[in-house]
Amino acid sequence: MSPAPSLYLPQPTGLQPLHPLTKLVLTLTVLSGAISLADPRYVFATYGLILVPLAGWSRILGPFLRYSFRALAPFLLSLVIIQGFFYPGELVIFSLGPFHYKAEGLGFALLFSGRLLVGLGASLLLLLTTRMDHLMQALTQRGLSAQIAYIVVTTLQIIPRFQSRGEAIFDAQRARGLKTEGSLLRRARALFFLVPPLLFSSLMETDARAVALEARGFGKPGPKTSWAVLTDSGGQRIVRALCAVAALAMIGIRLAAVARPR
């Protein structure tokens, strides 16, 4: 049986002990900053001077950098190449035959890449330092429906569960003589024998789990309590309020800049 999929890395220091809502608000503030800033240097500085030190403080720098670059490196590379050649502009840096690599395209690619890097980095920081069930508990205590919170937490487990179940079905089909390796056509054909049993078994499991949850009072009306204790403080509440104001201000300034006639 595979372990529950979670990026969370428990540590006694850094962001981990903070209230989940504080971390969520910090993430949203950083994201607002990344969207609002129009200069790629400031966007990359957000990553290098805010997110990286926070990851180091939380003792998750290694996985933070690894996940960030593994996920984005191929994408960023293609973005810089494609935008450089095809983004409209006049300042040519170099030419390859009939194609011209332009400074405007490079600038746009860097800004977009920086925003992606900050967006992913901020989200990673949240996921690596926060248990998703605690975050949902915090949101439920602030009025989010328990059903929605449950769906969010369990959805994160669907992909690995699908993977392991798919492997088991594939093995079973192979044992019955199905050829799953070879040409593209043969592999595509093998998928026909994987998808229906995977879907049907998953639907049946979901149905059975829904019934079992009802037996444990999941649908019972009335207030629910929590096993986990989420510690909060006056200082964190102030930080959250300031972050919210800052995020709104940054978005407001950005919107005003976009709306201003040139």
Partner 1 sequence: MIEVNDLSYTYPGTTRPALDKVSLRLGEGEFVGVVGANGSGKSTLCYALAGFLPTLYQGECHGQVQVAGLDPIRAGPSALAGTVGFVFQDPFSQISGARFSLEEEVAFGLENLGLPREQMAGRVKEALALVGLSDLAGRSPFELSGGEQQRLALASILVLQPQILLLDEPTSQLDPVGAKKVIESVDALTAERRTTVLLIEQRLEWMAAHADRAIVLDAGRVVADGPAREILTAPSLDALGVRRTRYTLAAESAVGRRLIPSPDHLPVTLEQAAVLLR
Q: Which residues bind partner 1 (CB under 8 A)?
A: 1-4, 6, 131, 133, 136, 150, 153-154, 157, 205, 208-229
**Nearer residue to partner 1 within complex by CB, 16 or 36:** 16
Q: Least CB distance from residue 167 to partner 1, whole Å?
A: 15
- Check: CB of residue 29 under 8 Å from CB of residue 54: no
Query: What token pair was written down for 194?
Result: 């994987």
145 vs 226 by CB, closer to partner 1: 226
Which is closer to partner 1, CB of 95 or CB of 145? 145
Query: Please, what is the minimum distance in Å from the beta carbon of residue 202 to partner 1?
Result: 11
Structure tokens at 239: 């930080």
In the complex with partner 1, the residue whose CB is nearer, 75 or 218, is: 218
Instruction: Name which of 26, 93, 92 is nearest 58 in CA terms.
Output: 26
Tokens of 14: 């850094």
> Which is nearer to partner 1, 62 or 219 (by Cβ)?
219
C-alpha distance from residue 59 to each of 28, 69, 195, 232, 256 (Å): 21, 18, 41, 21, 38
Nearest distance, CB of residue 137 and partner 1, angstroms: 9
The C-alpha atoms of residue 257 and residue 262 are separated, in whole angstroms, by: 10
Helices (H), the chain: 20-36, 40-46, 52-57, 61-86, 103-129, 132-141, 146-155, 158-175, 184-215, 234-259
69 vs 84: CA distance, rounded Å: 21
Tell the smallest beta-carbon distance from residue 146 to partner 1 (Å).
8
At its nearest, how many Å lie between partner 1 and the CB of residue 76? 33
Q: Half-sphere exposure (CA, 13 Å, Cβ side) for 100?
A: 10
What is the smallest separation between the CB atom of 160 and partner 1, expressed in angstroms?
A: 9
Rounded Cα distance between 81 and 74, Å, is 11
DSSP state string for 36-73: H---HHHHHHHIIIIIHHHHHHTT-HHHHHHHHHHHHH
> Minimal distance in Å, beta carbon 5 to partner 1?
8
| Residue among 39 and 171 whose Cβ is closer to partner 1 | 171
80 close to 104: Cβ distance less than 8 angstroms: no
CB of 62 or CB of 217, closer to partner 1: 217
